[in-house]
Amino acid sequence: MAYVEVNSGESFESALRRFKRKVQQEAIIKEIKKHSVYLKPGERKRLKAAQAQKRMRKRMRREISDL
């Protein structure tokens, strides 16, 4: 669990920024989103394959534009 102790003389905004950064580093939000919806194993496999294809198309497009 992420927590941040507020130092004396520290503003609330800076403490909040430190907390948000810590939450991102620990990937808490990502984990919550992952477990919020159940995907069947077949659906998960199709989604993973679709994301892989999307990354490949993006990489190929970037390589072609660099030439």
Q: What is the pLDDT of residue 7?
A: 92
DSSP one-letter code for 61 = H
Query: Which residue intervals of 1-67 are DSSP H helices?
Result: 12-25, 28-36, 41-66
Residue 22 confidence class, pLDDT cut points 50, 70, 90: very high
- Does the predicted model carry a pTM greater than 0.75? no
CB 66 within 8 A of CB 60: no
Query: Can you tell me the mean pLDDT for 53-57?
Result: 97
What count of other Cβ atoms lies within 10 Å of the Cβ of residue 13? Answer: 8
Residue 51 confidence class, pLDDT cut points 50, 70, 90: very high
